[in-house]
Amino acid sequence: MTELQQSLHTLGRLVGCTPLLALDVRFRGEARRIYAKAENFNFTGSIKDRMALHILRKAHDTGLLKPGAPIAEATSGNTGISFAALGRALGHPVTIFMPDWMSQERKDLIRSFGARIRLVSAAEGGFLGSIRLSEAWARETPGAFLPCQFANEANVEAHATTTGPEILAQLASVGLKPGAFVAGVGTGGTVMGVGSFLKGVDPGIRVHPVEPSNSPTLHTGHKVGKHRIQGISDEFIPAIVKLDQLDDILSVDDGDAILMAQKLADRGLGVGISSGANFLAALQAQDRLGSDAVVVTVFSDSNKKYLSTDLMREEPAKAGFLSPEVELVGIGQAI
Ligand code: PMP
């Protein structure tokens, strides 16, 4: 085994195979159970490690990425952390292009792994500007590899071959089958990959993409407003997202997502803001199917990357919020 193969093997042991949590809540006074994959258990603490490892492994296998060649990616944060850590572990120089308004923790973490960051201001085009600049960089840099997470089908494949089958097997181990899967859409890799896998098993399984109600990119096709759920609803609908293959879009207010993540933390489950949104969307999906339906979602990352954000501040509850009606019964069961 070469050193590179050894490193890929080691990383393979450190990414995926995350616990599936069975969380019992009372929602509007009714007993409910929601299943959530604890993706904070991955190598760098987020679900994006699955996609990054799969893309890097495939690029090495096909010869698209040569040993020691430079890697660059445009990202809102977690992807940058994944490519920085995994890329460096495999011996590559890494450059990350990201909007300058992302949390300080994300920027510091990427730099700490020895990757370079190119911050892109709103005036330079923000998110779309980051993509344009990374593409220009790749054209000018010999041997450069650009994972292109928003357009790369290997992103979807990562979840269709790992996250989806893990969910099915974990539920089967306790005699259950999924009724619905919900996930917030950043690149859409999670919802498309898990969704296509589960619908391949049973087309009746509902698969709902989730977005912030105060920035409905999926509903409109473009950026419409500001929101605080970092990692989802960027500025456009990514090429890998095929809404016609999914069920309807569920919406969650960003303040409600923050309150829900805080409520989970109050039970010791320190998850990020998109996890709060996913949990509330899972309850909405269950409303449609019945309170006994097996609804699965993901906790994409932990609360540690949000220390400087509103997740750590008091958040006012507004009329219509779901989180005030959720009472966590306990830490639940890990499958
Ligand atoms: N939540 C967080 C915190 C993320 O960083 C991301 C990735 N951008 C997502 C959710 C969405 O995942 P995906 O890119 O697979 O749609």
pLDDT for res 102: 81
What are the start-end ranges of the H helices in the chain? 3-14, 48-62, 78-89, 104-112, 126-140, 153-158, 164-172, 189-201, 217-220, 254-265, 273-289
Question: Where residue 127 falls among pLDDT bands split at 50, 70, 90?
Answer: confident
Is 318 annotated in the active site?
no
Q: Specify whether the CB–CB gap between 61 and 41 falls below 8 A.
A: no
**Which of 259, 274, 191 minimizes the C-alpha distance to 227?**
274
Q: Which residue's CA is minimally distant from atom 11 of ligand 1?
A: 186
Question: How far is the centre of ligand 1, averaged over its atoms, from the C-alpha of 185 (Å)?
Answer: 6
Higher pLDDT, 104 or 277: 277
CA distance 213 to 221: 14
Cα 326 to averaged position of ligand 1 atoms, centre (Å):
24
Encode pLDDT of 135-147 as tens digits: 999 999 999 999 9
Q: Which of 48, 107, 263, 305 is catalytic?
A: 48
**Catalytic residue (choose from 274, 275, 302, 323):** 274
User: Dmax of the chain from CA atoms?
Assistant: 61
Q: How far is the CA of 219 from the centre of ligand 1 (A)?
A: 18
**Residue 135: predicted pLDDT:** 95
Residue 275 alpha carbon, nearest atom of ligand 1:
1
Q: Which pLDDT belongs to residue 330?
A: 82
Residues touching ligand 1 (Cβ under 6 Å) are 46, 48, 76-78, 184-190, 231-232, 272, 274, 300-301
Q: What is the pLDDT of residues 143-198, one digit of tens each?
A: 999 999 989 999 999 999 999 999 999 999 999 999 999 999 999 999 999 999 99
Closest CA to 158 of 78, 219, 240: 240
- Cβ atoms of 212 and 232 within 8 Å: the answer is yes
Contacts of 309 (CB under 8 A, 6+ apart): 103, 228, 230, 273
Nearest CA to ligand 1 atom 7: 231
The radius of gyration computed from the CA coordinates of the chain, to the nearest angstrom, equals: 19
Binned at pLDDT 50, 70 and 90, residue 291 comes out as very high
Per-residue pLDDT of 9-18, as tens digits, reads 999 999 999 9
pLDDT of residue 235: 77
pLDDT the model gives residue 178? 98
189 Cα nearest atom in ligand 1: 15
Q: Is 48 a catalytic residue?
A: yes
pLDDT at 264 over 80: yes
* Residue 57 or residue 217, greater confidence: 57
Q: Which of 79, 152, 155, 187 best tests ligand 1's pocket when mutated (most atoms within 8 Å of CB)?
A: 187
- Over residues 45-73, the pLDDT tens digits come to 999 999 999 999 999 999 999 999 999 99
- Please give the distance, rounded to the nearest whole angstrom, from the Cα atom of residue 3 to the centre of ligand 1: 31
Cβ neighbours of residue 260 under 8 Å, at least 6 residues apart?
276, 277, 279, 280, 322, 323, 326
- Residue 181, pLDDT score: 98
| Cα separations in angstroms, 139 against 74, 75, 145 | 14, 18, 10
> Which of 55, 237, 300 to probe ligand 1 with, by most ligand atoms within 8 A of CB?
300
Provide the token pair at 38: 């604890």
Residue 244 phi, psi (nearest 5): -70, -10
The confidence score (pLDDT) of residue 106 equals: 85
Average pLDDT of span 321-333:
93
Distance CA(259)–CA(248), nearest Å, equals: 24
Which residue in the block uniquely carries the two structure tokens 């490193």?
7
ipTM for this model: 0.99
Q: Which of 88, 109, 116 has the alpha carbon at shortest distance from 7?
A: 88
Element (H, E) at 21: strand 20-27
Torsion region of 229: left, alpha or beta (phi above 0 gives left; psi -120 to 50 gives alpha): beta
Q: pLDDT-based confidence at 223, cuts 50/70/90?
A: confident
pLDDT at 75 over 90: no
If pLDDT is split at 50, 70 and 90, which confidence band does 221 have?
confident
116 forms bridges with which residues in the sheet?
A: 95
Place of tokens 């609360």: 303
**Residues facing 72 on adjacent strands:** 95
133 C-alpha to center of ligand 1: Å?
Answer: 21
Q: What is the mean pLDDT of residues 31-37?
A: 97
